[in-house]
Chain A
Amino acid sequence: MAGEIKCNNCGLDNKPGAILCEVCSEPLEVTVGASVPIIASSSAAHTPASAVGIIGRACGLVVGGNVIDREFELPKDDFGFTIGRTDLDQGIIPDVDLTKFAEKVKIGQDVGYTVSRKQAIIIRRMGRLYLRAIGGAKTMIKPQNTDWKELLKDQEEEILVGSRFRFGGSEGYVIFEVV
């Protein structure tokens, strides 16, 4: 029948629309794409994602003012990811691990790190990408053609091609640029 999806694991023909096999529960190989959500809102009209600037695909590591490497891919779907420092004791393994860039610093009587375990999150919402600070350590962002500014905890800023962000303090930091 048209549209049935054969399971590569058990061979069952699954119904159109299925994502997991009805019998063996294995993921089915389906054509995947992004659809346009239906928005019902009582607020101002929604601006389509296509109307706002160019969304980046990856973040490059910046050294000496130049992008030297494609460090990590930006999310292509609505599954955002965390940026921070690994702490296995607390079960924290960020999607973008900055442990190698984190340095110990003295904060008053205590010892802290220049990168939080959960420093920031990149999320995709309504087709746009945002960087949100979620940790205590400093997160700086430089949207294209503007100055650096600090993102305070729970503040977020849209990121486009050319946006740069910096994690860490003056003792040690890392900069990424959206490419």
Chain B
Amino acid sequence: MQVELTLGQRYLPITDEAEVIFLLRLLRDSQKQSADLALDLRKILDRSGSMDEPADGGLTRIQALKAAVNESLSLLRQGKDRLCIVVFDDTMKVILDPTIVGDINAIKKLIDGVRTGGSTNLSNPLRYTLEDVKPMDGSLPKIIIFTDGNVNAPSAAAEERACLELARQANRLGIPFAVFGTGIDYNEKFLKNMAEVAGHGSYFEHVKQVGAMRLRLEDEMENLKSVQDLDVRIGITAEPVVEILEAFKYVPQQLALPVSGKIVKDEFPGLDVRGQAYLIKTKVHAGKAVGDFKIATIALSWQGVAGAGVKSMNVVVNFTADEKLISPVDKTVRNTVLNTEGTKATLSGQYNRAQTLFTTSGNTGMAKKVETLAKSDEDAKRTLRTVTVTEANKGIIGKKGAK
């Protein structure tokens, strides 16, 4: 693993208080092979009545979803990867028990046979994939959920509570979610929350065209196959006179990390081709100190192909009276701050502010997307929120996020 630390400013003027911002990037080691672990995909697919509504390309949503799932099967490695598929409306049906992939055509027939039904109960299939599917040694598990409606059976409130409890269980087990929603009837806040609670690199995405699920599923599989270092854990501990104001991570999406006292922690199952990036904003009570000044300690651990890895780094700035030494603000750090704020502004509906921030950072593509999509309907706004959290900071990671 390659670790890269970029300070907003290395040399600062002598001061009582300063703001120190730093960007930490983790990248795969280009000299090393991937861990080449088996994938353990557990797909939970909505077949409720609303999946009969028209989607793109003259198909219904269920037809487009079946086509997308079928087309993505070819990326699974026969004899190696494991697949389980559960469909649900107010009841659940296991159409493929956890199975090492063999005959792809037989799986396609099972998917083709799915028919739409009643209302939406997600907790039962989720419980099945968490509790009844036995772990597979030496694999990367992922639960992939696709839905177009509010969970509502037996009631919305009880079902949401049950699903969030299962997301907490997934968090304890270290099994991440990839949650996809389409249309405008599902509860976006709930699905997003469920992904956040599950943690370990879980994410939620709005899908405007159901057919585009093929690309998302393929990206998901390619990313998992590229995983190099496993069980990555990171801890950032601030020095006594330093406060951590905010912390963000960016893969698979921008996410604010909780700050517990002077510590920020994160963990994820594996470092894939996208790498990982963290932005940490601190307030330093420097008390007019002069010279090198330690801000924080970064501790990293992971399981590599060749064994366990551990790394520790100090974050150090320098307070100087020599004005000529004062560093300019690092452009990448500044732009990451602006894009992060732009994303926050987009999520809270402050589109003008978002456009200004993206334009100031030179991210004209994202500013254009905000301008175009914010004027459109709710479906487009949901797309915009997904695009922004996934792509606004794409430049600081190894590869653009799943799309």
Chain A residues in the interface with B (C-beta under 8 A) = 1-3, 14-20, 25, 27, 30-35, 37-44, 75-82, 88-91, 93-95, 118, 121, 123-126, 132, 134, 154
Contact = CB atoms under 8 A, between A and B. Distances in A.
Given A81-B395, A91-B373, A125-B27, 8 more contacts: A2-B15, A17-B8, A27-B356, A30-B329, A38-B5, A44-B31, A93-B365, A95-B364
Nearest to B344: A25
A77 B15 contact: no
A91 B395 contact: no
Contact of A37 (B4, B14, B328, B334): B4
Nearest to A39: B4
Given A3-B15, A91-B384, A79 B362 contact: yes
B18 A79 contact: no
Contacts, number: 172
A87 to B, nearest CB: 9
B328 A91 contact: no
A35 B6 contact: yes
Given A77-B395, A80-B395, A35 B327 contact: yes
B239 interface: no
A79 B372 contact: no
A82 B383 contact: no
Contacts of A80: 394-395, 400
Nearest to B400: A121
B15 A15 contact: yes
B171 interface: no
A16 B10 CA distance: 12
B1 A78 contact: no
A39 B334 CA distance: 19
B168 interface: no
B311 interface: yes
A14 B380 CA distance: 37
B387 interface: yes
Contacts of A44: 31
Contact of A35 (B31, B313, B330): B330
Contacts of A88: 372
Contacts of B365: 81-82, 93-95
A15 B331 contact: no
A90 B364 CA distance: 18
A5 B395 CA distance: 27
Interface in B359-377: 360-365, 368-369, 372-373
A15 B5 contact: no
A75 B341 CA distance: 21
B328 A31 contact: yes
Contacts of B12: 3, 16-17
B403 interface: yes
A8 to B, nearest CB: 12
A89 B338 CA distance: 27
B335 interface: yes
A17 B403 contact: no
B102 interface: no
B338 A3 contact: no
Contacts of A20: 337-338, 341
A134 B6 CA distance: 27
B90 interface: no
Given A2-B14, A81-B365, A38 B4 contact: yes
Contacts of A126: 4
11 contacts: A2-B323, A19-B8, A19-B337, A27-B356, A35-B9, A39-B2, A39-B3, A76-B331, A80-B395, A82-B400, A154-B222
A35 B10 contact: yes
Contact of A40 (B313, B328, B368, B372): B313
Contact of A32 (B212, B331, B356, B396): B331
B395 A124 contact: yes
A75 to B, nearest CB: 7
B7 interface: yes
A96 to B, nearest CB: 9
Contacts of B21: 17, 19
A108 to B, nearest CB: 14
Contacts of B394: 79-80, 121
Contacts of B329: 17, 19, 30-33
B20 interface: yes
Contacts of A79: 332, 335, 339, 361-363, 394-396
Contacts of B341: 20, 25
B309 interface: yes
